[in-house]
Structure 1
Amino acid sequence: MDTWKMCIVLSRRIVTTADQIPEELTLRHRRFRNWSMNPKSADALLETLLALSIHSLVVDAAVHGNPDAAAVIQQMPLADIATAATVRPHHELLAGLPPLTEPDQLRVNALKVLIHDDASALPLGRLSQTARITMQQLAAAIGGGAPVCSDIPTDPQWLRP
């Protein structure tokens, strides 16, 4: 599996797993509606922003001598993904992207519009903060101090009794 696919699969797993936390999905969608954002579209952009954040960290690791993307992703702290989504310069999120499938390219293009259009700074900031909140909620639910991606449960019902 190529690096981008690993990043998009992980970002979907992050959102799907976080959605099992009581009230997380409801609160996130309420925030999106309050911000006049369509929850389904905003969730797709959130997943893409998380994938770009993960990808940028993998690219950094490769530049610093660790080309094993799968191993880097497995040991990536959730806090690092949250930081990349909120603090990393946007051009770094877009650097080093491979050719993308049409659906992925459309979502990346939508984020590019938010990045490059000054009038879109507020929606982009809100997406970034939602990414941070999602990662923090997931890390808190997983527990254990500083969870990494390999700690994300694969069972879709992990929190349900």
Structure 2
Amino acid sequence: MSTTSKLAQRFAQIRERVDLAETYAEDGATMTAMQTLTDAVTAILGMIQPSPDPDRKPMPLEQLVETVEGALYRRTAEQVAAVPWVAEAIGLHDPRIRALGEVAALAEQQYRAALVEWIGRDWTCLCVVSCAEDPATACSLSGERHVHPEIPGRPGVYGPCPVHPDAPGDH
């Protein structure tokens, strides 16, 4: 089998896993969908990062198991798993767990960025991100922040754009 066909086969397997994850998600099987999607991430990482850093030799599996078993005498499995070097060492032996860790790290970064954005938001203005949400008040500059005043006595209903009175849709 040629290198090109092997690569195409690997891409096809990834595509199948993603499609299967989508099917599971649509059927309400979110945990199975996440596991299948994690398998796809593992396959992708295997293509772009075939092995751990060559300068870092993973701890031998027997030593890692002994270390974890020893820690379990004094701590719970959750506490042991929370130790960063333990999670990293396990990930070197299990690409699926490494992929889960990378997905979790990315989600954590996105979560923190969303928190920072929310905290830094100007809560004193009445700006809307997109006035196109209501076709009756949409203007040509939808998507740019600008104020549409709420119509008195009609909560949630906005009037014409005072910043762009000549814009289409503001009449």
TM-score interval w.r.t. the shorter chain? under 0.3
TM-score calculated relative to the size of structure 2: 0.25
More helix by share: 1
What TM-score comes out, normalization by structure 1 length? 0.26
